[in-house]
A and B are shown apart, each in its own frame.
Chain A
Amino acid sequence: MSAAPMLEVRGVSAGYGTFRALFDVSLEVRAGEAVAVIGPNGAGKTTLLRVISKIIAPTAGDVVMEGTPLGPVPAHRVVELGIAHVPEHRRLFPRLTVEENLRMGAFHPAARAKFRERLDFVYELFPRMKERRNQAAGTMSGGEQQMCAIGRALMSGPKLLLMDEPSAGLAPVIVQQVFNLVKRIRAEGYTVLIVEQNIQQVLQVVDRAYLLEVGTIKQSGSSAELLASPEIRRAYLGL
């Protein structure tokens, strides 16, 4: 038996009003792993990440981060436990500058103390962001905004990075850059849970994946297993 997982999602159900988007979803992510949740539009991938970072509360089940159940933790303190969320559609503050967006990522007290150090790290990772640091974030290209959104999440000093479709809406060349970046972030020692519809490409950069369809986990396994799975090849890879 290896050590307990870093993140455990235990029997989570969630939805919006009377609508159920997730049904009894369980998964785990171990320290140092990169794990993907793949599935079609509307499967509940975004909802799952929102439950993990407590933007919405589950109707059943719980999420446990390094042994701490998130149930009683206020939403704005989840980030202090080492969970950073790069939201769907990036969600930068468009009228703040790049550097002000990065400052927001370092809002919590422990992160403020390390602001300079981490800013240097993010600028080293994304020299482009350093060039644009005084530019309003909303005026940058989609690829640049994605870098800024990832940089903002890294500013909190996370252990676990949640990424919601970082490749969505980007030109094909940029998509490849984003996946290379995910590899680079892993190599820096971050644990990653990534949600993607770009299945072929995401399976190249993660260790394991879960297939989510209409709110339930349908399959899970190593990237190689899922790439070889007849259902996934037929339904998602068009092979």
Chain B
Amino acid sequence: MFDTFLLESVINGILLGGVLALLALGLNLIFGVIDVVWICYAELVMIGMYAIWWLHVYYGVPLPGAIVSAVMVVALMGVLLHRLVIEPVLGKPPINQLLVTGGVLFFLQAAATLAFGIEFRNLGLRMPVVEFGDMFFSFARLLAFGTALAGVLLLWLFLTRSYLGTAIRAISQDREIMPLMGVDPRRIYLITSAIGGGMAGVAASLLVLQYDVHPAIGLSFGPITFMICVMGGLGNMLGGFLAAFVFAQFISVGGYFFQIEWGYVIAFAFFIAMMFIRPKGLFSR
């Protein structure tokens, strides 16, 4: 028997996977290149969501302008995060790096609470629903999926086709000889941080179309993003991309068979089981 609702869940899972893939990609890029985990990554996304809400709802900036500004703000935050917080602890034990970026997480949460309060905020948009056969999909999700894939594709083209992108991949393989190539490693790290921040900003613009923003929203997708990266193999961008879709299916289809909360429980249980079976990630060789 053909189950339209199951198919709808599978497709919704794919749509969710696109956004999760974009989220994971930014974090993976930073880890793969700079060898540091931005624990506060989801909080950068939260700041991006607030920036869009604030510019659009408060100041009446048209949505496209608000989104572009927010992406630039979060990219700049990525640069500042690297310059002020990461640079002093580069080469220090990983625990120090986790603690400082963890500190930034709480700082950003507290700053958002002070600035915007704990209320849930949204853009008050009424996004249409798209009907396809007997199935219904939210337009915001379709848009988010399309934009996320375009973002992933653009990043891939940049990393494989341009001089700067090639240098970003090269520096993770041999940092010491980069100056012999005429590359200033410090500049590459700052550019990479700007791109990682920019990806968080793009993710923010996709999420703010679907979800309310509040100071703790980072907690609702930060852990998932980390688990996706670990499952795909930290720093392995292709692995993270595929893992995002695996994870999204667990959440979406698991939520269809049980309840939505159970979808998350199943996804986390799968993650824990995988950590025993393949601790280096699903796609490790």
Mark A residues whose CB is within 8 Å of B. Answer: 53-55, 74-80, 84-85, 87, 91, 93-96, 100, 103-108, 111-112, 152, 156
Q: Which residue of B lies closest to A104 (CB)?
A: B181
Residues on the A chain within 8 Å of B173, using CB: 93-96
Given A96-B170, A107-B167, verify A91-B177 contact (CB < 8 Å).
yes
**A74–B170 Cα gap in the complex (Å)?**
20
Inter-subunit contact B176/A96 (CB<8 Å) = no
Contact with A along B172-212 (1 / 0, CB 8 A): 01101111111111000000000000000000000000000
Q: Which residue of A lies closest to B170 (CB)?
A: A93
Residues on the A chain within 8 Å of B184, using CB: 74, 76
Residues on the B chain within 8 Å of A100, using CB: 166, 169-170
Inter-subunit contact B166/A55 (CB<8 Å) = no
Shortest C-beta distance, B184 to chain A (Å), equals 4
Cβ 8 A contact of A96, one of B169, B177, B183: B169
Residues on the B chain within 8 Å of A103, using CB: 163, 166
Inter-subunit contact B179/A75 (CB<8 Å) = yes
Beyond A76-B182, A111-B182, A152-B181, 16 additional contacts (C-beta under 8 Å) are: A53-B179, A53-B180, A55-B177, A76-B184, A78-B179, A84-B180, A91-B174, A93-B173, A93-B174, A96-B169, A96-B170, A96-B173, A100-B170, A104-B166, A104-B183, A105-B181
Residues on the B chain within 8 Å of A85, using CB: 180
Q: Which residue of A lies closest to B178 (CB)?
A: A76
Given A79-B181, A80-B182, A107-B183, verify A112-B176 contact (CB < 8 Å).
no
Residues on the B chain within 8 Å of A156, using CB: 181-182
A–B Cβ pairs within 8 angstroms, 30 of them:
A54-B179, A55-B177, A75-B179, A76-B178, A76-B183, A76-B184, A78-B179, A79-B181, A80-B182, A84-B180, A85-B180, A87-B177, A91-B174, A93-B169, A93-B170, A93-B173, A96-B166, A100-B166, A100-B170, A103-B166, A104-B166, A104-B170, A107-B167, A107-B181, A107-B182, A107-B183, A108-B182, A112-B163, A152-B181, A156-B182
Shortest C-beta distance, A16 to chain B (Å), equals 13
Inter-subunit contact B176/A55 (CB<8 Å) = yes
Contact with A along B160-171 (1 / 0, CB 8 A): 000100110110
Inter-subunit contact B174/A107 (CB<8 Å) = no
Cβ 8 A contact of B167, one of A74, A104, A111: A104
Shortest C-beta distance, B44 to chain A (Å), equals 28
Within 8 A of A (CB), among B3-53: none
**A170–B182 Cα gap in the complex (Å)?**
28
In this complex, the member of B170, B173, B181, B183 whose beta carbon has the largest number of chain A beta carbons within 10 angstroms is B181
Shortest C-beta distance, B214 to chain A (Å), equals 41
Q: Which residue of B lies closest to A92 (CB)?
A: B174
**A91–B169 Cα gap in the complex (Å)?**
15
Shortest C-beta distance, A238 to chain B (Å), equals 34
**A128–B174 Cα gap in the complex (Å)?**
24
Shortest C-beta distance, B175 to chain A (Å), equals 11
**A91–B185 Cα gap in the complex (Å)?**
16
In this complex, the member of B166, B167, B184 whose beta carbon has the largest number of chain A beta carbons within 10 angstroms is B166
**A108–B229 Cα gap in the complex (Å)?**
33
4 A-B pairs with least C-beta separation: A108-B182, A75-B179, A76-B179, A79-B182
